[in-house]
């Protein structure tokens, strides 16, 4: 091992700490310039299984749940919890958890991985389990067409050892198709219930056609976005048989519960996370740990202990007013958040913060793919504040969705918008919905005001 790479990384981590920076990617980025094999060299000392989680939405929550369950079972876990999921972020977390000689004392590793980085990461980490949550259109000006990303992921999966385990979301057609013709152990998870919340295929629906014959998919049930129970009437291809299936699903403001069917067993699962889309995240985390042989009691303890990271269904108070903060970064993520708020069934005041920095994607036309009209028709919205660099674009989208212009106020500086919204709130729930770089500004605001996160 090139110890210079470790020392460079350690030095930059110290510098970031002294200057008050997060330093979740820069140390690894510079260390990789010195030693391109630094990830491979450190991760080989992780004693047991390595788990990789990828996909467009849900990978941060799913990987966090997996890691927390493993910790609850007594394992020492290295995990890129902050969500820095490219090579530089993974290198950083490994350097942080190793000594100056690159030795790491961990039982297992859980790594959230950006989809486009999968080929490089899988080559370096050689995971025992890979979890794929879903594929949706996300930052296309950065990645190009969705099918290009999926093709790269599938090529990388085909190189895994035969004893590897691949856990796929069967309800999402792109993801389910990854399991076709792979010579490894493939497991599928999905929903067995009907969710009676009036969901229909999202305007951002991607996978319309069967990859085998080109026939158009027909859906028996839609759970959210393009996730559901589907089949092709032309060739018969359908949603794969589920190895893990959620049924008796209950969604409340305080959390979710369901029974997970695995073989002949029914596992009772509860989580304080909310929203139908979190059924998938919780289910994937439970299924992963079942495959790893973790006991059901340790699994439930881990679910109870899990604390979401900032901006992922984060619950707090702004000037004494109950507030929920959730990241929105693409049409399906935005739709899912709106559906979750609709399920809560309370009057709302919204603060939506949209930037168009590089990390967000420059093109904000995706806002028009969100089914805001459906949300507006089913929800009592008293006030909306739009903020960020593209606040006007968001306000225009809301106007065309049918929200009375008198209810919409534009306040571009995010800190000023955060100060303002509790002043117009009585009994409403405040929902703060930032996109990627807006979330950093929201978090900085909370820290500067001493708000509990």
For residue 361 the two structure tokens come to: 């994607």
Is the predicted pLDDT of residue 329 greater than 50, yes or no? yes
Higher pLDDT, 67 or 147: 67
Question: What average pLDDT does range 52-78 have in this prediction?
Answer: 96
Per-residue CA distances from 176 to 27, 220, 230 (Å): 36, 17, 11
Query: Which tokens in the block code for residue 105?
Result: 């004392």
* Distance from C-alpha of 367 to C-alpha of 354, rounded to nearest angstrom: 10
CB 445 within 8 A of CB 418: yes
pLDDT digits (tens, 9 = 90+) for 247-273: 999 988 889 999 999 998 999 999 999
* pLDDT interval class at 138 (50, 70, 90): low
Give kind and range of the element (H or E) at residue 245. strand 244-252
Give the mean pLDDT of the chain.
91
Banded pLDDT at 196 (limits 50, 70, 90): low
Banded pLDDT at 275 (limits 50, 70, 90)? confident
Q: Is the pLDDT of residue 200 over 70?
A: no
Contact indicator for 410, 395 with CB cutoff of 8 Å: yes
Q: How long is the chain?
A: 453
Q: pLDDT value at position 253?
A: 81
339 against 289, higher pLDDT = 289
What is the layout of strands, in order, in the sheet containing 408-410?
Answer: 314-318, 321-325, 429-434, 348-353, 381-387, 408-410
Closest-CA residue to 387 (of 411, 368, 362) = 411
Q: What percent of the chain has pLDDT over 70?
A: 95
Q: How far apart are CA 205 and CA 218, in angstroms?
A: 13
The closest alpha carbon to 330, from 56, 131, 60, 54, belongs to 56
Q: Are 255 and 231 in contact (CB under 8 A)?
A: no
- 441: tokens are 């500004």
Active-site residue identified among 99, 180, 248, 363: 363
Query: Per mean pLDDT, which range of 9-23, 85-99, 383-397 is the poorest?
Result: 9-23
DSSP label at residue 45: T
Please name which of 140, 217, 142, 135 lies closest in space to residue 175, comparing C-alpha atoms: 135
363 tagged catalytic = yes
What mean pLDDT is predicted for residues 276-290? 96
Task: Evaluate if residue 198 carries a pLDDT over 80.
Answer: no
Q: Indicate if the pLDDT at residue 113 is higher than 90.
A: yes
Report the range of poorest mean pLDDT among 139-143, 144-148, 358-362, 386-390.
139-143
Q: What is the pLDDT of residue 197?
A: 54
Structure tokens at 147: 């099918």
Contacts for 292 with CB less than 8 Å, ≥ 6 apart: 49, 51, 70, 128, 129
For the annotated binding site, the residues are 210, 213, 232, 235
How many CB atoms sit inside 10 A of residue 232's CB? 19
pLDDT at position 144 over 60: no
Q: Quick check: 223 pLDDT over 90?
A: no
pLDDT at 141: 46
Rounded Cα–Cα distance for residues 91 and 9 (Å)? 9
Per the annotation, where are the binding residues for Zn(2+)? 210, 213, 232, 235
Among 81-90, 130-139, 390-399, where is mean pLDDT lowest? 130-139
| Segment 108-133 mean pLDDT | 95
Q: How confident is the model at residue 205 (pLDDT cuts 50, 70, 90)?
A: low
Token couple for 95: 């350097």
Domains of the chain: 3-305 (3.40.1190.10), 314-448 (3.90.190.20)
The pLDDT of residue 224: 82
């Amino acid at each position: 091992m090139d110890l210079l790479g470790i020392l460079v990384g350690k030095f930059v981590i110290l510098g970031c700490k002294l200057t008050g920076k997060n330093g979740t990617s820069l140390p690894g980025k510079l260390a990789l310039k010195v030693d391109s094999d630094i990830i491979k060299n450190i991760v080989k000392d992780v004693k047991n299984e390595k788990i990789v989680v990828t996909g467009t939405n849900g990978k941060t929550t799913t990987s966090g749940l997996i890691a927390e369950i493993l910790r609850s079972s007594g394992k020492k876990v290295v995990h890129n919890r902050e969500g820095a999921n490219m090579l530089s972020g993974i290198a950083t977390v490994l350097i942080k958890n190793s000594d100056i000689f690159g030795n790491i004392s961990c039982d297992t590793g859980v790594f959230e991985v950006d989809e486009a980085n999968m080929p490089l990461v899988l080559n370096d980490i050689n995971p025992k389990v890979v979890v794929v949550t879903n594929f949706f259109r996300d930052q296309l000006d950065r990645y190009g067409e969705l099918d290009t990303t999926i093709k790269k992921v599938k090529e990388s999966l085909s190189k895994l050892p035969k004893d590897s385990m691949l856990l796929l979301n069967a309800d999402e057609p792109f993801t389910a198709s990854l399991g076709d013709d792979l010579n490894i152990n493939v497991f599928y998870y999905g929903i067995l219930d009907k969710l009676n919340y009036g969901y229909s295929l999202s305007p951002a629906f991607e996978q319309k056609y069967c990859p085998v014959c080109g026939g158009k998919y027909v859906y028996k049930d839609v759970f959210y976005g393009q996730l559901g129970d589907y089949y092709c009437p032309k060739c018969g291809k359908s949603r794969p048989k589920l190895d893990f299936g959620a049924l008796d699903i209950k969604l409340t403001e305080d959390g979710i519960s369901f029974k997970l069917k695995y073989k002949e067993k029914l596992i009772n699962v509860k989580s304080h996370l909310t929203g139908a889309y979190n059924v998938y995240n919780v289910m994937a985390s439970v299924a992963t740990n079942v495959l790893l042989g973790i006991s059901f009691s340790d699994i439930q303890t881990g679910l109870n202990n899990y604390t979401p990271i900032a901006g992922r269904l984060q619950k707090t108070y702004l000037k004494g007013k109950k507030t929920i903060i959730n990241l929105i970064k693409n049409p399906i993520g935005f739709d899912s958040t709106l559906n979750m708020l609709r399920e809560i069934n309370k009057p709302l005041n919204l603060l939506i913060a949209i930037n168009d920095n590089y990390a967000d994607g420059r093109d904000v036309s995706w806002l028009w793919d969100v089914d805001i009209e459906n949300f507006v028709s089913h929800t009592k919205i008293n006030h909306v504040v739009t903020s960020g660099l593209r606040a006007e674009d968001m306000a225009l989208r809301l106007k065309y969705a049918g929200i009375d212009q008198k209810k919409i106020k534009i306040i571009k500086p995010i800190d000023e918008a955060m100060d303002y919204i509790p002043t117009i709130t009585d009994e409403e729930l405040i929902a703060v919905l930032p996109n990627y770089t807006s979330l950093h500004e929201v978090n900085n605001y909370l820290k500067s005001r001493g708000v509990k996160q």
